[in-house]
Structure 1
Amino acid sequence: MPIQQIVLHPTVDRSLKYASTTVGRDKVYRAVQYFARFLAWYLKRQDYNNKEIIQRLSNLKSALGLSRKLMRLGKSMEHLQHATKALNVEDEFAKYVTIGRQLGYAVYLFWDTFSWVHSAGVYKFQQIKRINENAYKAWLMGLLFSIIHGLYKLHQINSQRGSLISKAKIAETSERSKDTATLKKERKAAIRQLIQDVLDCSIPATALGYIHLEDGLVGLTGFITSIMGAQSQWKKVNGP
């Protein structure tokens, strides 16, 4: 039966497996949220006559943003656990930047909880503006530490790769070729994460007024990094 073939298709199975993860769903919601933000800005900029469509896109953006905040409740504890585990890292520099990154994300999600409470109407905070600013500052701090860690990791990978290439010229072995391929893969992943972090920095930096980007550009940036994150999560769940 055609319906059975569609329902039982491997792609559907992998999609369901991906959607069963909280991170997977969050990346999809985030992509739609930021694309709606970009599209609403674009239509408004083009003087689109149907104002109702623009309002619907804005409502969609707000609804998804609120839903994602709810999904993140309690996630700050996960980052605190990662920060605690990082204490066992032998590399001192990597240890402290990892702790800084995880603490930044943990504090961001802590303040983000209050933001959800306010936005959901559970309780209205008079200092909601300051709460949101604290959240954005913590998010930006986490991203900056992540960028520093990414640059440091790239430096380490390049050093190891250079050493392996030099040794390979002297004695070519399958083991060294395998190590070189592994480092190449790690380098590609590190560069990808670095690009994602740099792009994501524009979101809290714009919200805090440190840089001035148009709403559409922020939306487009968020959409791009969401797709990048979704691809990474897909590979993590379903393999390459």
Structure 2
Amino acid sequence: MPLQIIHHPVVDSSLKYANTTVGRDKVFKGVQFFARFLAWYLNRINYDKETIKRLSSLKSTIASSRKLMRTGKFVEHLQQASKALKEKDEIARFTTVGRRLGYTVYLFCDSLLWAHSTGVYKFEQIKKITEIAYKFWIFGLTSSIIHCLYKLHQNGLKKNFFEKNSRSKNIESSEKISSIDSEVIALRRQLLQDIFDIMIPTTSLGYIHLEDGIVGLAGVLSAIIGAKMQWEKVNGAK
């Protein structure tokens, strides 16, 4: 019985997922922001201060761990920005490059923040670095949101074209429509994730005013969407 559990397909799929940095990051993100939400909620109902303190500590520890896991990832985004320059569609090119460059600077600053928080190196201008990180995160997310909206519009036009110009439902047109539908689903998920994510830096910079619990829930929902997308990427959509 124990061997059957170990070799169960779900266990295999879970191991594949957990073996990816993105997969682990989404799980940690979910725990981090749930701890943030829970600490906020317990504080509102005047719960045990020690428990709230532990949750806050858990949130901070996981946040630091996630920064470490993302160290060096800014290079990947810089490479993707370079590749995106070959995109023929101008709007898609600008938004993709904007997203990648935004994340490049954000993640680079994020690495500096990790070094500062762990005492590896203390930066005098840490507040400025934090502000720059959040601003470029917002820039990257905004670019991604515009990109998703644009691609959704483009896919809508393509789908209408195929539906109107296909006299008969042949296999080729059906496959193209199915491909468009799949891309639309992915774009909607990404758009929703970006909307949840952008609440975090905009609140931190004071651009919008949301309670910690709302930001916590937004982070949890973003993590769930991201985890699902990564799961399907690793194990296939089922």
| TM-score of the two chains, using structure 2 as the length reference | 0.97
1:1-240 matches, within 5 Å, as 2-48=1-47, 50-168=48-166, 170-240=167-237
Moved more, 83-92 or 138-147: 83-92
Alignment RMSD: 0.9
Structure 2 distance, partners of 1:5, 1:214, is 46
- Shift in Å, 1:211: 0.1
Structure 2 distance, partners of 1:187, 1:4, is 40
Counting matched residue pairs gives 237
**What is the one-letter code of the residue matched to 2:198?**
C
Deviation string 1:110-169 (CA, Å, 9 cap, x unpaired) is: 11111101111112222211111100000000000001110110111001001011012x
Structure 2 distance, partners of 1:171, 1:39, is 55
Structure 2 distance, partners of 1:190, 1:162, is 18
Q: Determine what percentage of the aligned residue pairs are the same residue.
A: 57
Structure 2 distance, partners of 1:235, 1:22, is 15
**What is the one-letter code of the residue matched to 2:29?**
R
**What is the one-letter code of the residue matched to 1:12?**
V
Structure 1 distance, partners of 2:185, 2:228, is 14
What secondary structure is seen at the aligned counterpart in 2 of 1:88?
A: coil
Structure 2 distance, partners of 1:113, 1:4, is 41
- Shift in Å, 1:172: 2.8
| TM-score of the two chains, using structure 1 as the length reference | 0.96
What secondary structure is seen at the aligned counterpart in 2 of 1:62?
A: helix
**What is the one-letter code of the residue matched to 1:173?**
N
**What is the one-letter code of the residue matched to 1:239?**
G
What secondary structure is seen at the aligned counterpart in 2 of 1:27?
A: helix
What secondary structure is seen at the aligned counterpart in 1 of 2:85?
A: helix
Q: Structure 1 runs of 4+ off > 4 angstroms?
A: none
Q: 1:41 to 1:177 in 2, by over 3 A?
A: same
Structure 1: unaligned runs, 5 residues or longer? none
